[in-house]
Chain A
């Protein structure tokens, strides 16, 4: 009887601590700003075949600019992992895509970084980084 009550109270006490630890972990992850990591289970757009740090809205916008720049048909599949080269883009096309993205998002990409972009995902990640810097 007494031992049962004691173990019950111990387990009750343990819970608040676990919750506190979890809360502090979440805080440290988010680091005071909106985290790109989502702890909620969320239905990702079915077009995204890989997980990536950039927001789906950013990826979708990037896809739209790429589609327009390369004059792709609606049927052509573009995902976050799609390489510009796989869509038939040469290096001049890629420059145009990057310029189009700069205009769409109102940012300027440093030349070295811009030249290293080869996929939608990479473009979206850099864009969000630049938008964050701009918002400071």
Chain B
């Protein structure tokens, strides 16, 4: 990673991943572990399966992920069903 320059889109993905991990940190430990597991699995699955040149789909995933992160940050949201929905889709 260090030597090679990250593309703008790659940086956005890593930034989103970072955002999820930060949001998870403010949760009680059980929730946190579950969130981290779900998020980690989802990102790794997509990094494996999604064609790096399918920019349209990646942009879609980034927008979707951003919405989910916003939901996760909201204290009103207690359940994680929105994240699970995406997991089950892919």
Contact = CB atoms under 8 A, between A and B. Distances in A.
Contacts of B25: 99, 103
Interface string A72-87: 0000000000011100
Interface string A50-62: 0000000000000
A116 B14 contact: no
A25 interface: no
Interface residues of B, number: 17
Nearest to B10: A91
A99 B22 contact: yes
B1 A118 contact: yes
Given A91-B10, A91-B14, A115-B14, A96 B21 contact: yes
A90 B1 contact: yes
A89 to B, nearest CB: 8
B44 interface: yes
A85 B15 contact: no
A95 B6 contact: no
B11 interface: yes
Contacts of B1: 84-85, 89-91, 94, 118
Interface of A: 83-85, 89-92, 94-96, 98-99, 103, 111, 114-119, 122
Which 7 pairs between the two chains have the least Cβ-Cβ distance? Answer: A118-B2, A99-B21, A91-B1, A95-B17, A95-B18, A95-B14, A94-B1
11 contacts: A83-B2, A89-B1, A91-B6, A91-B10, A92-B17, A95-B14, A95-B17, A95-B18, A99-B25, A118-B2, A119-B2
Given A92-B14, A92-B44, A95-B21, 20 more contacts: A83-B2, A84-B1, A85-B2, A89-B1, A91-B1, A91-B14, A92-B43, A94-B1, A95-B18, A96-B21, A96-B40, A99-B21, A99-B22, A111-B15, A114-B18, A115-B11, A115-B14, A118-B2, A118-B3, A119-B2
